[in-house]
Structure 1
Amino acid sequence: MYAEHTDGTPGLREKLMGVELPPIPKPNASREARVGVEVRNALAFKLYGTATGMPPTHRLEIRFTSSRSSLIISQATGLPTSENYGIDVQYNLIEVASGKSVMTGTTFSRVSYDNPGSYQRFSRNRAVRDAEDRAANEIAENINTRLASFFTAGS
């Protein structure tokens, strides 16, 4: 699937490198803005690797919402000891030349994390951030797989 074509037509790698990733619209300095940057950066690395300079043939617009839910609450402190973090994503692949949408899709990620120590603020914040990063990487992997399928099969 990722091999170069012998007939001179662009291979999958070149097609993926032609996907432009505009910034994900979220309020500046918000937690969701940081997650949006993580999703975009992880996806950019999966699409381009370390290469740059291809003219865009497609633009991928991404919108997402995130959620947190408590799984286990400590009876002693009333604070959660285990939580879920989720990201729900809608994306739209637009052909730059025509401006038409050629593919739309949705994906999601749910990850769980423990809150070590009910009063340890730094460790709680770090656990949430690690969960956000894991979910963002999973979203990027899902979208990358779908894009590879689209450019290989054409649908």
Structure 2
Amino acid sequence: MTFSMGKAAPKGKPAVLAMLLLALAVLPACQFRPMYGSTGGQALSGVSVADVDTREGQQVRNHLIFLLSGGATPASPNQEVRLRVSSTVQGLADVSRNPVTNQIGNSAGAVTITASYDIYDFATKTITHSGRRSAQASFDKTSQSFANQRAQRDAENRAAREVAEQLRLAIASDLDAS
């Protein structure tokens, strides 16, 4: 639809302009904030991670420290994350031993790492938030024992990294909510 120079603009144009101005006035009142904004990083950099006692727990802890503060230890932490990490290994597709060659056929396994966490606030001396996250990684088994051990260890490391990333998001969400 075209308008000639002599005709007036459609009547709906002022209404659309008024709605646009109203939306611009109301939208800044929304509480939307990006998760990776500058305020979240400052809160996370003041969080320390307590020591753990298992290899899988150490993998989760190391990656979580890197995600929270780039690997640096906070000078004066406000909160401490206390982790409890457990790991389970299960066979997914076990194949029986071949009676002629006495070799085990290829099969698969899965590692599940579960981490429970508490956020301890040093100021109030209380646990402010708790949660639990888990991740699973699969691996192939062969007839070679070293290859099986290495594949399982790699799966544990992958699952630990995934749990640490989930923990970082959960901790950021918990701290942002308080």
Question: Into which bin does the TM-score normalised by the smaller protein fall?
Answer: 0.7 to 0.9
- Distance in 2 between the 1:98 and 1:138 partners? 31
TM superposition score normalised by structure 1: 0.82
Give 2:118's aligned residue.
Answer: 92
Which of 67, 70, 88 is the matching residue for 1:49? Answer: 70
- Distance in 2 between the 1:60 and 1:52 partners? 13
Instruction: State the secondary structure of the residue aligned to 1:83.
Output: strand
TM superposition score normalised by structure 2: 0.72
Matched letter for residue 76 of structure 2: P
- Distance in 1 between the 2:72 and 2:58 partners? 19
Instruction: State the secondary structure of the residue aligned to 2:93.
Output: strand
**Taking every aligned residue pair, what percent have the same amino acid on both sides?**
32
Please give the root-mean-square deviation of Cα atoms over the aligned residues, in Å. 1.7
Bigger relative CO (Cα 8 Å, ≥ 6 apart): 1
- Distance in 2 between the 1:134 and 1:145 partners? 17
1:121 aligns with 2:121: no
Change (3 A) 1:52 1:89: closer
1:63 aligns with 2:63: no
- Distance in 2 between the 1:61 and 1:72 partners? 35
1:23 aligns with 2:57: no
Give 2:37's aligned residue.
Answer: 3
Q: Is the 8 A contact 1:71 1:80 kept in 2?
A: no
1:63-114 deviation digits (Å, cap 9, x = unpaired): 0221111011122245771001011221100101111011000111111111
Give 1:30's aligned residue.
Answer: none
More strand by share: 1
Matched letter for residue 2 of structure 1: Y
Give 2:57's aligned residue.
Answer: 36
Q: Is the 8 A contact 1:83 1:113 kept in 2?
A: yes
More helix by share: 2
Instruction: State the secondary structure of the residue aligned to 1:105.
Output: strand
- Distance in 2 between the 1:150 and 1:35 partners? 24
1:86-143 deviation digits (Å, cap 9, x = unpaired): 112211001011110110001111111111x31x122111101100100100110111
Q: Per-residue deviation at 1:148?
A: 1.2
Q: How many residues align?
A: 139
Structure 2: where are the runs of 5+ without partners? 1-34
- Structure number with greater Rg is 2
1:135 aligns with 2:164: no
- Distance in 2 between the 1:93 and 1:53 partners? 15
1:14 aligns with 2:42: yes
